[in-house]
Amino acid sequence: MTTVVVVGSGIAGLTAALHAAENGCHVTIVTKGELSETNTRWAQGGVAAVTHPADSVASHAADTRTAGAGLNDPAAVDVLVGEGPSLIAELVARGVDFDRTPDGDFARGLEAAHAMPRVLHAGGDATGAEIQAALGAAVRAAGLRVREHALLRDLALRGGRVVGIELDGGERIDADAVILATGGAGQLYAHTTNPRGATGDGVAAAIRAGAAVADLEFVQFHPTALAVGAPFLVSEAVRGEGATLIDDAGRRFGFDAHPDGELAPRDVVARANARAMAAQNGRPVRLDATALGAERLAQRFPTIDAAVRERGLDWAVDPIPVTPAAHYLMGGVVTDLDGRTTVPGLYAVGETARTGVHGANRLASNSLLEGAVFGARAGDAVARDRAWPVAPPVE
């Protein structure tokens, strides 16, 4: 039986773990906090996927490539958007309760750079928390071994192959294969939407083991983190519902940068915000969601509503101060479409991986989808990869 260690417990890691176990592997999940302490849990906006007959895989792929400035790997994009709908069905089967319209269809939100509303959400703006809870319960129900509060110190290598991991404190866990799902590295920055654990551990360990990495210069800044108190994400979905961005003079500046204004690709909006802030001595720009009204804000965005009010702000009455903040690492450990890295026995998935799917800038709400799609593929692959093939290096 193939023994597999999965390091990290967000959507990518748990999906990979479940798939590997369902394919007969003996799986141990190692996570440095509690199982539920992940970036996934913080995700608000949702999961982008083609679930409406008027939508198409070609349209979602085109939006993904446009947002990525054309630097995406087209084969990875095709896998992501083509397999997206079946992974949504899998999430539903595992218990994820996406929000629905009164007639039972998925409720779909619009987010920046999407040609149409295709972002599924749960609990309003608590999509990640819902997914984390459902997958965590599935892992527990399947009886997978979980090691919490266990920090990856390094990968164990023998003859150029990964044969397990070493934990902080010296303990070693042997395995035929290791799947890195440790998320990104937002904590490298003073202002980030990422949780404390986003410290790039998996990418660093992979580099030390000799794995190829690429595109690490592609770091996405989210345009709208709350600029009062600790940085807190204000989902793009708020702008999708009609909120606007204004400067100190109350002027909407987004259309100076792009014809789609506040709904331009995320990097364009973040840069427009940074420019507007520079022009007003660094003071934050403001997100004006007042037109949505108190009831809609509380019902559609309960998590953000609470965070805003905790900071003594009333966003139904006044525009709120926001600033760009480090959000997502497009680059990472180079993998093929099944999560294989350039080192035998080592896989990487989710934000830790560089599949090439995002190009230079990830499309909104493609990250949870990426975790599900490529996590599933890696979990399936690890079970059949007896010969430990590796990914070709990126040119």
Among 31, 44, 303, 352, binds ligand SIN (CB under 6 A): 44
Q: Which of residues 271-330 bind ligand SIN (CB under 6 A)?
A: none
Among 364, 382, 383, 391, binds ligand SIN (CB under 6 A): 364
Among 13, 45, 344, 379, binds ligand SIN (CB under 6 A): 45
67 is a site residue for ligand SIN (CB under 6 A)? no
Q: How big is the site for ligand SIN, counted in residues (CB under 6 A)?
A: 9
Give the nearest distance from C-beta 302 to ligand SIN in angstroms.
14
Among 254, 344, 365, 375, binds ligand SIN (CB under 6 A): 365
Q: Please state, in angstroms and as integers, the Cα–Cα distance from residue 246 to each residue in 223, 256, 303, 326, following that order.
A: 13, 12, 23, 21
Alpha carbon of residue 162 to chain centroid: 26
Give the nearest distance from C-beta 44 to ligand SIN in angstroms.
4
Nearer to ligand SIN, 8 or 344 (CB): 8
Nearer to ligand SIN, 44 or 335 (CB): 44
Give the nearest distance from C-beta 377 to ligand SIN in angstroms.
20
Give the nearest distance from C-beta 112 to ligand SIN in angstroms.
8
Nearer to ligand SIN, 274 or 394 (CB): 274
Q: Show the site string, 46-65: x = touches ligand SIN by CB under 6 A, - = not.
A: --------------------
Alpha carbon of residue 16 to chain centroid: 15
367 is a site residue for ligand SIN (CB under 6 A)? yes
Give the nearest distance from C-beta 42 to ligand SIN in angstroms.
9
Nearer to ligand SIN, 88 or 364 (CB): 364
Q: Of 134-142, 159-167, 244-252, 364-372, which part binds ligand SIN (CB under 6 A)?
A: 364-372
Instruction: State the Cα–Cα distance between residues 71 and 56, nearest whole angstrom.
Output: 21
Q: Of 37-45, 148-156, 169-177, 317-325, which part binds ligand SIN (CB under 6 A)?
A: 37-45
SS3 string of the chain? Answer: CCEEEEECCCHHHHHHHHHHHHCCCEEEEECCCCCCCCHHHHCCCCEECCCCCCCCHHHHHHHHHHHCCCCCCHHHHHHHHHHHHHHHHHHHHCCCCCCECCCCCECEECCCCCCCCCEECCCCCCHHHHHHHHHHHHHHHCCCEEECCCCEEEEEEECCEEEEEEECCCCEEECCEEEECCCCCHHHCCCECCCCCCCCHHHHHHHHCCCCEECCCCEEEEEEEECCCCCCECCHHHHHCCCEEECCCCCECHHHHCCCHHHCCHHHHHHHHHHHHHCCCCCCEEEECHHHCHHHHHHHCHHHHHHHHHCCCCCCCCCEEEEEEEEEECCEEECCCCCECCCCCEEECHHHEECCCCCCCCCCCCHHHHHHHHHHHHHHHHHHCCCCCCCCCCC
Nearer to ligand SIN, 28 or 361 (CB): 361
Give the nearest distance from C-beta 46 to ligand SIN in angstroms.
7
Half-sphere exposure of 90 (CA within 13 A, CB side): 20
Give the nearest distance from C-beta 82 to ligand SIN in angstroms.
19
Q: Of 4-12, 38-46, 243-251, 332-340, which part binds ligand SIN (CB under 6 A)?
A: 38-46
Q: Please say if 266 is a catalytic residue.
A: yes
Alpha carbon of residue 155 to chain centroid: 24
Q: Which of residues 209-238 bind ligand SIN (CB under 6 A)?
A: 235-237
Give the nearest distance from C-beta 119 to ligand SIN in angstroms.
8
Q: Of 30-38, 42-50, 207-215, 280-288, which part binds ligand SIN (CB under 6 A)?
A: 42-50
Q: Which residue among the candidates 41, 108, 118, 266 is catalytic per the annotation?
A: 266
Are the C-beta atoms of residues 23 and 44 closer than 8 Å to each other? no
Nearer to ligand SIN, 205 or 234 (CB): 234
Are the C-beta atoms of residues 46 and 121 closer than 8 Å to each other? yes
Residue nearest ligand SIN by beta-carbon distance:
45
Nearer to ligand SIN, 222 or 340 (CB): 222
Q: Specify the pairing of strand 244-246 against strand 108-109.
A: unpaired
Contacting positions for ligand SIN (CB under 6 A): 43-45, 235-237, 364-365, 367
Active site residues per annotation: 266
